[in-house]
Structure 1
Amino acid sequence: MKSFKTIALACTLGLLPLSPAAAQSGDITGLWNTGSEGGKVEIYRCGKAYCGKIVDAARLRTNPDLRDVRNSDPNLRTRRLKGLVVLRDFTGGPTNWTGGPVYDPETGDGASSGKLKLQADGKLQVKGCVAIFCRTKVWTRAR
């Protein structure tokens, strides 16, 4: 049986998943697996809100200089994907945030508004909405 110190150290280093209690603390900052194309987004504080930027994806490992070629706006297709802000100005908490815009570089689609919901299991629901049409993805915290 593992000692309490070993378990505490593993949690601190991110080797064990967050407990439901930790998930409910409302801390969404850090690295998240998007579940699409090996993508990873870092959520960070931007002023009094939260933002998220692309830090990794399978396509970026092949070509670190990859551009936003799938964007529906031709004027934005030369933007680099690495470091691209895909979540902007989310406020609220401790388990629900609203903000926007939200951008999906996989499809090139954006939404002017979105919602984030931290689930009890530590997963993050990311929802982008255009008018009454919404799409939701579930992200998992990266270790």
Structure 2
Amino acid sequence: MRRGFMVLAAAVCAVLTPVPAAAQDGDAILGRWRTSAQNGVVVIERCGVQLCGRLADAAALRANPDQRDVRNRNTALRDRPLQGVLVLQGFSGGPQEWSGGPLYDPETGQGAPTGTLKLVSADRLAVRGCIAPLLCRTQTWTRLR
């Protein structure tokens, strides 16, 4: 009887203990994602209260780990290392869709001031960058386990 009461009390405490909303809503998108270009890998993580994404790997980095951001339109940034560069910044929302920006494409050196991240399924992410309301590009990324 006493053991049964302890199990019941533990179950009640587990159900009644609140889980922070941010942990529930934003964590589904966190992790490593394979991009559709250059076989890249972006790590999406928390940057303060918002989400950001950093380039962790790409074909160019496997060929030359010291690869620089040579295609960047800002000539002052062309000497920075490509590995670890922020490609997603300032995203908030969830649990299925986040909005923010800017986004950066190191393959072309171009950026988009705004965009959305939409979790299509647990393992598929639609990444959309827009330079104007009707001028957008979408890529589908897949989760790496």
- TM-score scaled by length of structure 2: 0.78
CA RMSD, aligned part only? Answer: 1.5
- Structure 1 residue runs of 4+, over 6 Å off? none
1:90 CA drift (Å)? 0.4
| Aligned match of 2:144 | 142
Q: Residue 29 and residue 121 in structure 1: after superposition, are their counterparts in 2 closer, same or farther (change >3 A)? A: closer
| Aligned match of 1:17 | none
Partner Cα distance (1:140, 1:51) in 2: 17
Q: Residue type of the partner of 1:68? A: D
Q: Residue type of the partner of 1:70? A: R
RCO higher in 1 or 2 (8 Å CA, sep ≥ 6)? 1
- TM-score scaled by length of structure 1: 0.79
| Aligned match of 2:45 | 44
Partner Cα distance (1:64, 1:120) in 2: 32
State the Cα deviation string for residues 24-67 of structure 1 (Å, max 9, x = none): 98611100000211100000011111100000011101111101
Counterparts of 1:1-20 in structure 2, within 5 Å, are: none
* Bigger Rg, which one: 2
Give 1 or 2: higher helix fraction: 2
Partner Cα distance (2:82, 2:26) in 1: 31
Q: Which runs of 5+ in 1 are unaligned?
A: 1-23
Q: Which runs of 5+ in 2 are unaligned?
A: 1-24
Identical columns (%): 53
Moved more, 68-77 or 98-107: 68-77
Partner Cα distance (1:26, 1:96) in 2: 12
Partner Cα distance (2:141, 2:122) in 1: 11
